[in-house]
Structure 1
């Protein structure tokens, strides 16, 4: 697939009908002044509200926007991966559809990416979630960092920019989106982290419970730790080739 854009923005969607148009308008306001060719790929993850209808209207109104729709709900990791496969730019950005991530942070993140990193991660220094989610996130992040030997402050922030080919090459499994920094580093990526805005939810409700996320995350963490322990890489010193 040829690179037709400079940036592909991948956004999973599950029952976010009231947030989508405002999100697209904010993305447009943030990126248009950069004179940057970009596309926005919405992945409807089996929504049961009017999200798909809204996405169809957005794709007709905004030339940069398009969508794909799953037959059934497959989860955030599957939605991200589908978007990565659809991307037509050498770098891909990700964010949530609930308007808690702020598209206005993208220009500064793109500038940091241009300094030579293959991944830039948002750090939600001031979380706008309920207290139980903030505490659970801190505990999970601390355990995750300890077992994966990481120092990432906020691996759960969906606002990220990554090298498209690298992120396509990482192992794929349910929950992999929670470990993208570690998985990208295993591909040799230079990863940088920067403070970003985090906003209260605009409309709708959170799709994840604290307990079920913790249980699933525990299984995923053991799997990623195993991947790290078995990972290998190599560099070719020279290659002997014969002329055809």
Structure 2
């Protein structure tokens, strides 16, 4: 198998100690079932619990596991970017570490990837979030669609499969992970969606607010809108 077949699962972690063992067991089962080489890159965002110790233990016990540990808390977007830089493959799979994303969905998403498609997005058609979180998400999506319509049902689903070189070339900024679809689309990626399983959170508590998170994204949207309208794109006809 070539490096083209290999995929890297990038998992940002902040205080997810109680979920990591079960998550990796599920991930290994799903990843091994593909028959492809793979690796998992955990990025610890300066957790204040024992998450990093658990990750170190996984890395010692499993050759597929590598990790990056931040010296200070930098946020989910920074953690994703550190994982992209560390990835040793052409394909990146992103997912959360709270057990809400189901690793069993990864094989089917990988099958779609590459078939005239550089990005596959999970669509949580039956979400298991709290009522207030679902409402705030709908508000955020409505605002986002009014300003930057990325054409997908579920921008916020962390379970995605993407081409690594396109990811590494994206402009980097705080909260950029919320805009991966429109940023990848602007970079030339063709996108497909697939319905995925969504589960209740495992251990720990949610790291995100509710309505405040929905409203805070307006500031980011202004910047994203500027980026995509000022994007320079071209097609080469011929060169020597």
TM-score by length of 1: 0.95
Query: SS of 1:66's equivalent?
Result: strand
* Rounded Cα–Cα distance in structure 1 between residues aligned with 2:149 and 2:18: 39
Residue number in structure 2 paired with 1:219 = 219
Deviations 1:90-109 (A, max 9, x none): 01000000000000000110
* Rounded Cα–Cα distance in structure 1 between residues aligned with 2:4 and 2:69: 22
Residue number in structure 2 paired with 1:15 = 15
* Rounded Cα–Cα distance in structure 1 between residues aligned with 2:109 and 2:177: 19
Tell me if 1:135 matches 2:135.
yes
Tell me if 1:146 matches 2:161.
no
Residue number in structure 2 paired with 1:88 = 88
Q: CA deviation at 1:152?
A: 1.1
- After superposition, the Cα gap between the structure-2 partners of 1:232 and 1:69, relative to the gap in structure 1 and judged at 3 Å, is same
The answer to whether the 8 Å contact 2:143/2:218 transfers is no
The farther-off stretch of 6-15 and 209-218 is 209-218
* Rounded Cα–Cα distance in structure 2 between residues aligned with 1:65 and 1:5: 18
* Rounded Cα–Cα distance in structure 2 between residues aligned with 1:110 and 1:4: 12
Deviations 1:108-142 (A, max 9, x none): 10111132210000011111111010011112112
Q: CA deviation at 1:190?
A: 0.3
Residue number in structure 1 paired with 2:185 = 185
The answer to whether the 8 Å contact 1:5/1:88 transfers is no
Residue number in structure 1 paired with 2:195 = 195
Query: SS of 1:73's equivalent?
Result: coil
Residue number in structure 2 paired with 1:155 = 155
The farther-off stretch of 225-234 and 121-130 is 225-234
Q: Which runs of 5+ in 2 are unaligned?
A: none
Q: Which runs of 5+ in 1 are unaligned?
A: none
Residue number in structure 2 paired with 1:38 = 38
Residue number in structure 1 paired with 2:6 = 6
* Rounded Cα–Cα distance in structure 2 between residues aligned with 1:85 and 1:191: 22
* Rounded Cα–Cα distance in structure 2 between residues aligned with 1:145 and 1:215: 14
Query: SS of 1:18's equivalent?
Result: helix
Residue number in structure 2 paired with 1:103 = 103
Q: CA deviation at 1:229?
A: 1.4
Q: Which has the larger radius of gyration?
A: 1
The answer to whether the 8 Å contact 1:145/1:152 transfers is no
**CA-atom RMSD, angstroms?**
1.4
Residue number in structure 2 paired with 1:48 = 48
Residue number in structure 2 paired with 1:204 = 204
* Rounded Cα–Cα distance in structure 2 between residues aligned with 1:4 and 1:189: 17
Deviations 1:12-39 (A, max 9, x none): 0000000001100000111112211000
Query: SS of 2:18's equivalent?
Result: coil
* Rounded Cα–Cα distance in structure 2 between residues aligned with 1:216 and 1:62: 39
Q: CA deviation at 1:151?
A: 2.0
The answer to whether the 8 Å contact 2:137/2:214 transfers is no
